[in-house]
Amino acid sequence: MSLPYGEPSAGGVSHVPPGWDWWVGLVGNSRYYNYTLSVNGTARRHGDRYEEDYLTDVITRYALEFLRGRSAGGAPFFLMVAPPAPHSPQTPAPQYARLFPGARAPRTASFNIAAEDKHRLLREPPSPLPEPVLRTLDGVFRDRWRTLLSVDDMVAALTERLAQMGLLDDTYLIYTSDHGYHLGQFSLTVDKRMPYEFDLRVPLYVRGGRLPAGRTVRAPVSAVDLAPTVLQLAGMDPDPEMDGVSLMEFVSAESGPVPADPLTSGPPLPRTSDPPPPRTALLISYNGETNMAVEQPCRFRGTNVSHCYERYACKCQDSADNTYRCIREMSAGLDRIVCRFSHPEFWEVYDLSADPDQLNNTAPILSDAEKDRWRRRLEAAERCSGAACRHI
């Protein structure tokens, strides 16, 4: 069963992607009220009453309905629940709408400072941001927190229901997100399109009866790893030509084979016959957008930009030349990111062990020969597929 948001409008309300036996999808992008759901291909319209229509709660009720009738020892199931919160317009439920009145966007080391050594888009004025914009950012931050309280309620309700049904100890729960976010870092306003840690990193928590409790695995993992992970947890061997790697390979590499669960007396988790070693690097890529969501008062920014809003002093969040490819490396002795922006070419390089806030772009010290080697490596990473992507 899937409960995602953002079903492409081109698919239409009647569209149900192959492979799902129960599908509830939001038609269009993030909304909290006044939206249409595709419920197994049938349109179901919602209004603006909290008790009936607040999307996070509606998704929770559908998920609980799906769990009804499941039982310990019954057929296995897969449930994907993807609420939009805290995506804009970050509308909180009414009972949470006034909480955190004094909270502010985190004043990190990079907050509201000039980005003199960064890509052109970041150097656009105003920098630093004026006080009215900072107040708006703080309001966005508070509302994001408030909408997440309903996600907390969702997680609690589903976990409690699994426990009541005797399924919790035999169910793997994966909690993650789609992207990071910035609120004022390097004088940016609100968005997530940049190759910096605050935009790239997302939460990833996994619990299950056969996983060791309290372990933190420090390795570069990606959303492409979730599919092979689910396949392995379901007892199947992931296709070796999949780009991703099962997260169980990272756990096993640090601790040996994951033990059988003493509560269920189950066998050890299935392993591929020749599991790849954990990777040490990932490709990060993005193609900049242009001529989208540019409000009339911001048209003076030109036609190469997008997502320019008057309430944010027309500080645009994207542009066609905000197109980059990066290698993000993490290993025992290396923690860095190397990025190449194209058209025109611009480089950013950060040693995150020494500069975790990415304040100092060290790309100017790269020689022409080093840049040429990095170009070849980035091109190879962009072309790779399957097992070749595990050692870029």
- Per-residue model confidence as pLDDT tens digits over 142-165: 999 999 999 999 999 999 999 999
Number of structural domains in the chain: 1
pLDDT of residue 241: 87
The reply to whether 122 falls in a domain is no
Mean pLDDT to the nearest integer, 251-257: 59
**Has residue 268 got a pLDDT over 80?**
no
Residue 351: exposure state from Cβ atoms within 10 A (0-12, 13-18, ≥19): middle
The reply to whether 65 falls in a domain is no
The reply to whether 256 falls in a domain is yes
Kindly report which listed range (122-126, 210-214, 278-282, 345-349) carries the lowest average pLDDT score: 210-214
Mean pLDDT to the nearest integer, 24-30: 90
The reply to whether 118 falls in a domain is no
The reply to whether 68 falls in a domain is no
pLDDT of residue 371: 98
- Indicate the pLDDT class of residue 72, thresholds 50, 70 and 90: confident
Mean pLDDT to the nearest integer, 74-82: 92
The reply to whether 270 falls in a domain is yes
Mean pLDDT to the nearest integer, 358-366: 98
Domain of 262?
225-278
Mean pLDDT to the nearest integer, 199-222: 87
pLDDT of residue 258: 43
The reply to whether 19 falls in a domain is no
pTM score of the predicted model:
0.89
- Indicate the pLDDT class of residue 7, thresholds 50, 70 and 90: low
The reply to whether 241 falls in a domain is yes
